[in-house]
């Protein structure tokens, strides 16, 4: 049975989610504080975490970082904040998706299904990806198996989704990839989130690989089509 941890301090959200996800066939656990969530997370293996950003005590951002350091589990951030900066920060520290309050349970369930499916597909594709262990373009060198990226010889941190976007671009070096192709490959063909998520990731990648991110020459935009890395 798929096991989900819900970290939510508002009973009006937590209690219905526990009930509804259990009815959907999931094994659901709840925690109202970051400390309680961490204690449960250390003791048990989970397939997915629903993580509220606004928590008493240990913040959702801090908890997300700690969870990522311990093990790689898909995380959907749930937040009342929806500004671009909030989205960037959440995605940068490792969240796989985000949902803003108020939300419908059916929408949230669709996001859960999509993230879980991509997680399973990613495990299957991991072995195939190892066949090409190193990808490179200009100053960028990626070790797929080690999940490492070096830029100008310096090890550079790339959260999971940024890594996946860059990897797909590098595997198609010199070719234009449409926004739809990138979103479908990294977030799934049934992704229902805001498409600006891709733009946020491209912006973050450019900040790490371009000498002048405001005038990119390596990862370029092909107006009206999509993105390309390399000539």
pLDDT single digits (tens) 44-78: 889 999 999 888 888 888 888 888 888 878 899 88
Question: What CATH number belongs to 3-122?
Answer: 3.40.50.2300
The one-character DSSP state at 85 is: H
pTM (predicted TM-score): 0.57
Return phi, psi of residue 183, to 5°.
-65, -45
Residues of the chain with pLDDT > 90: what percent? 42
Is pLDDT above 60 for 125? Answer: no
Question: What CATH number belongs to 134-229?
Answer: 1.10.10.10
The one-character DSSP state at 189 is: T
Q: What is the pLDDT of residue 190?
A: 66
Q: Predicted confidence band at 117 (pLDDT cuts at 50, 70, 90)?
A: confident
The domain limits of the chain are 3-122, 134-229
Is pLDDT above 50 for 131? Answer: no
Contact 198, 182 (CB under 8 A): yes
pLDDT tens-digit series, residues 30-49: 999 999 999 999 888 899 99
């Amino acid at each position: 049975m798929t096991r989900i941890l819900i970290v939510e301090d508002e009973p009006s959200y937590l209690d219905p989610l526990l009930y509804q996800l259990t009815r959907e066939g999931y094994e659901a656990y709840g925690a109202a504080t970051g400390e309680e969530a961490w204690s449960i997370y250390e003791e048990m293996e989970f397939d997915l975490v629903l993580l509220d950003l606004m928590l008493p005590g240990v913040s959702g951002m801090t908890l997300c970082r700690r969870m990522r350091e311990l093990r790689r589990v898909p995380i959907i951030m749930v937040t009342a904040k929806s500004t671009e900066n909030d989205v960037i920060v959440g995605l940068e520290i490792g969240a796989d998706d985000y949902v803003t309050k108020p939300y419908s349970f059916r929408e949230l369930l669709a996001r859960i299904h999509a993230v879980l499916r991509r997680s399973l597909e990613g495990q299957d594709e991991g072995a195939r990806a190892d066949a090409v262990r190193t990808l490179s373009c200009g100053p960028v060198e990626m070790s797929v198996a080690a999940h490492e990226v070096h830029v100008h010889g310096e090890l550079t941190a790339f959260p999971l989704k940024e890594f996946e976007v860059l990897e797909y671009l590098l595997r198609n070096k010199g070719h234009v990839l449409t926004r739809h192709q990138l979103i479908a490959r990294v977030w799934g063909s049934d992704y229902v989130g805001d498409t600006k998520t891709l733009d946020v990731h491209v912006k973050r990648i450019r900040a790490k690989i371009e000498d002048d991110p405001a005038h990119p020459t390596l990862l370029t935009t092909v107006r009206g089509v999509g993105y390309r890395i390399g000539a």
